[in-house]
Amino acid sequence: MSLIVHKYGGTSMGSTERIRNVARRVAKWHRAGHQMVVVPSAMSGETNRLLGLAKELSPASTTKALQRELDMIASTGEQVSVGLLAIALQAEGLESVSYTGWQVPIRTDSAYTKARIQSIDDARIRADLDAGRVVIITGFQGVDEGGNVTTLGRGGSDTSAVAVAAALKADECLIYTDVDGVYTTDPRIVPEARRLATISFEEMLEMASLGSKVLQIRSVEFAGKYRVPLRVLSSFTDWNIDLAEEAASGTLITFEEAVNMEQAVVSGIAFSRDEAKISLLGVPDRPGIAFSILGPVAEANIDVDVIIQNVSHDGKTDFSFTVPRGDHARALELLKTQVGPAVGASQVVGDARICKVSIVGIGMRSHVGVASRMFRTLADEGINIQMISTSEIKTSVVIDEKYMELAVRALHRAFDLDQAAA
Ligand code: ASP
Ligand code: MG
361-397 pLDDT, tens digit each: 998 988 889 999 999 999 999 999 999 999 999 999 9
Ligand 2 mean position, distance from CA 158 (Å): 6
Q: Quick check: 276 and 351 in contact, CB under 8 A?
A: yes
- Domain of 296, CATH number, reads 3.30.2130.10
Total domains in the chain come to 2
42 lines ligand 1 (CB under 6 A): yes
Q: What local confidence, expressed as pLDDT, does residue 255 receive?
A: 87
**Closest among 134, 64, 71, 126 to 97, alpha carbons compared:** 134
Question: Given 194, 228, 256, which residue is the final one in a domain?
Answer: 256
pTM here is: 0.85
213-244 per-position pLDDT tens digit:
888 889 999 999 999 999 999 999 999 999 99
What's the pLDDT tens digit per position in 177-211?
988 999 999 999 999 999 999 999 999 999 988 87
Strands 96-99 and 106-108: unpaired
Shared domain for 215 and 303, answered yes or no, is no
- Candidate from 73, 140, 214, 274 with most ligand 1 atoms within 8 A of CB, to mutate: 140
Same domain flag for 247 and 278: no
Ligand 1 atom having least distance to the Cα of 152: 5
216 CA closest ligand 1 atom index: 8
Considering 222, 256, 290, which residue would you say is the last residue of a domain? 256
Give the residue whose CA is nearest to atom 8 of ligand 1: 155
Q: Which of these, 221, 212, 223, lies nearest to 268 by C-alpha position?
A: 212
Residues 251 and 325 in one domain: no
Residue of 7, 49, 137, 154 to test ligand 1 pocket, by largest number of atoms within 8 Å of CB: 154
Checking if the pLDDT of 47 tops 80, the result is yes
Helices (H), 143-240: 157-167, 201-209, 217-226
Whether 286 and 224 share a structural domain: no
Domain-located, residue 384: yes
Q: What's the 7 CA to ligand 2 centre distance in angstroms? A: 10
What residues contact 354, with CB distance under 8 A and at least 6 apart?
275, 276, 277, 322, 386, 398, 399, 400, 401
Q: Which numbered atom of ligand 1 lies nearest the CA of 153?
A: 9
Report which protein residue has its CA nearest ligand 1's atom 6.
155
Residues 86 and 189 in one domain: yes
Give the ligand at the shortest distance from the Cα of 46. Answer: 1
Q: Residue 421: inside a domain, yes or no?
A: no
Beta strands 134-137 and 96-99 are parallel
